[in-house]
Structure 1
């Protein structure tokens, strides 16, 4: 009902001079539609609603980023980046269309024509880019678990149900179990590792594991896993027998799937890039 309010308003303002008049008056109204106040108000209502949806999309993406960081440690982060890029592209497309509509009410026909051409070319570019991404990165379009929640929401739910009990001994045992698993099984070498995979392997509920890492350790799952990957990469870089191994080979070996994410994580963990770190050894 909330979403239909602009539509109802848009039609209500058309009642006096369009809906309840005769056919000749309707034709006359439409023939001068660009100068009619009702039509201009309709455009304002429509575009205000679209802008509100665009802002809501970016707010959802910001929340999604936190959910991803708390639950994933690999390719899923690339999916989030792709969603952000695509939303930005569509937003750009919309604002060009908005500018075109504004110039419909202004006496600058040559600018309007250029905007129409620009809109068509931008539309073609977006479609081509979307198809290119879909063909070369099909994993970007796989389903996302919509049931995932932020840790702060899980904590809030547990507090409300009076299930959140701080037990240092229990947390300590779970932490030892988790760290032993990370060292012995090296799950971080899997570039598509998720918190669900780890929870299954160590036989711990996902919610409890998420609280342990994100709340007790005060780390995102993404950073927690990457810290092990970076430590393994540092071991390889320090190994004289592997001095010929390239940075690209190392990043794939330790569980990363892109050079940019590897460099970012390595610099965050050590304060320098992998190449610079190797040179200091």
Structure 2
């Protein structure tokens, strides 16, 4: 979580002879002790809850555990400063946090994600910062270690570790944004149930992570250039922020335990597919049926583009299937299920919808759902149905997504369209 970034400057905070006053640790100690126990309780939940997200939960729990150990310095500072090697190892742990939260995001997005030996490469920054302090700390005697820690902020090791830490978190922040961008495109191209995944929540998490990175840079810079008291008060704010983030995550876990829906990472984006020659198109029944049409100016299906007859025939066949069998009424319909119904290979169907028709699968399905809802609103015999009953009937799971899609296609809200239709009937 973003809190590993808030702890990234642990090197610059954990030694009492660099603090404003020893007694000032009581404030941070109390806040950190509370956060420590909340973290442990959440870890207990993540490791014992039943479900299909075992790997994701373990990655998140590991990230929590690293943070719990790191913030313990504020209420165990006497022990930490009597055991310098432990204190230094503890301060290395945040360098495993960035890889863990990145792998957590990937594991949530992609249901087929598995840990592999190659993922050990993510530990390189962790071992690199250890290597930086080996000569003057791990291989040195206690007086030399104490001297290094006394002047760590201005030492070569301290500045190098500061740079490594923030380059690492910047890189992983970018990687998370790229992962979510690709995930969103894959989802829109292959799934119709937008309410079954948590892109918005993951994006919130990634943005908070990026902002926490910026805050960590500011906090570390104040310490690096000797603004000890300013750094201390920022650290209080950071610790309170961590506690707030922790409570937010707890509420998310408790209220929405099935928050995420993963997709298969092997699904390629349409932009990465080569458009096959028309001669290679899969065989479909040679039935030419006109594309569906209604008298509504904004509700008619897009006209079939002028392409090879084989492509045109495919599009007409697909639209006929949508009109007759109405698979869009299934709220969780996927492109794989539609491909099985139409006997068109998934890859070819994805190209047909996203490339030749020019719509995401998500928009393609919603188009038919909205047209179905419009026909219900125009039917006097169904005038007693309310908006909620209609959007559930046509395959939507939430009123907000229904309203958004309806306004996008018709320029009116469902209520406005219903009232206009009934008044004209």
Q: TM-score range by the shorter chain?
A: 0.7 to 0.9
Match status 1:89 vs 2:229 = no
In 1: Cα distance, 2:376 partner to 2:328 partner: 15
Alpha carbons 1:178, 1:202 under 8 Å: kept: yes
In 2: Cα distance, 1:244 partner to 1:107 partner: 71
> Which residue number corresponds to residue 198 of structure 2?
79
Cα displacement string for residues 146-205 of structure 1 (whole angstroms, at most 9, x for unaligned residues): 1111012121xx6xxxxx212523223322221122112211111111101101111221
Cα displacement string for residues 64-123 of structure 1 (whole angstroms, at most 9, x for unaligned residues): 211111101104664222221222233334433443333323555554344334333333
| Corresponding residue to 2:175 among 31, 56, 60 | 56
In 2: Cα distance, 1:224 partner to 1:178 partner: 11
> Which residue number corresponds to residue 415 of structure 2?
275
Q: 1:190 to 1:89 in 2, by over 3 A?
A: farther
Q: 1:144 to 1:118 in 2, by over 3 A?
A: farther
Structure 1, unaligned runs of 5 or more: 159-163
In 1: Cα distance, 2:258 partner to 2:130 partner: 43
Cα displacement string for residues 113-154 of structure 1 (whole angstroms, at most 9, x for unaligned residues): 443343333333333333433344344324321111101212
> Which residue number corresponds to residue 30 of structure 2?
none
In 2: Cα distance, 1:120 partner to 1:246 partner: 48
| Corresponding residue to 2:263 among 114, 130, 144 | 144
Alpha carbons 2:173, 2:209 under 8 Å: kept: no
| Corresponding residue to 2:322 among 179, 182, 186 | 182
RMSD after superposition? 2.8
TM alignment of 1:1-281, pairs within 5 A: 10=129, 14=133, 23-75=142-194, 78-106=197-225, 108-109=227-228, 111-155=230-274, 164-167=276-279, 168-281=308-421
In 2: Cα distance, 1:243 partner to 1:90 partner: 49
How big is the shift at 1:14? Answer: 4.7
Cα displacement string for residues 235-276 of structure 1 (whole angstroms, at most 9, x for unaligned residues): 122223333432222222211112222222112211222233
> Which residue number corresponds to residue 161 of structure 1?
none
Alpha carbons 1:93, 1:122 under 8 Å: kept: no
In 2: Cα distance, 1:250 partner to 1:258 partner: 11
Following TM superposition, the consecutive aligned residue runs of length 4 or more in structure 1 with deviations greater than 4 angstroms are 1-23, 106-111
In 2: Cα distance, 1:132 partner to 1:13 partner: 40
In 1: Cα distance, 2:372 partner to 2:265 partner: 32
Aligned residue pairs, count: 274
Alpha carbons 1:134, 1:141 under 8 Å: kept: no
Alpha carbons 1:188, 1:229 under 8 Å: kept: yes
In structure 2, the residue corresponding to 1:27 is in which secondary structure? helix
In 1: Cα distance, 2:230 partner to 2:420 partner: 57
Q: TM-score, normalised by structure 2?
A: 0.57
Q: TM-score, normalised by structure 1?
A: 0.83
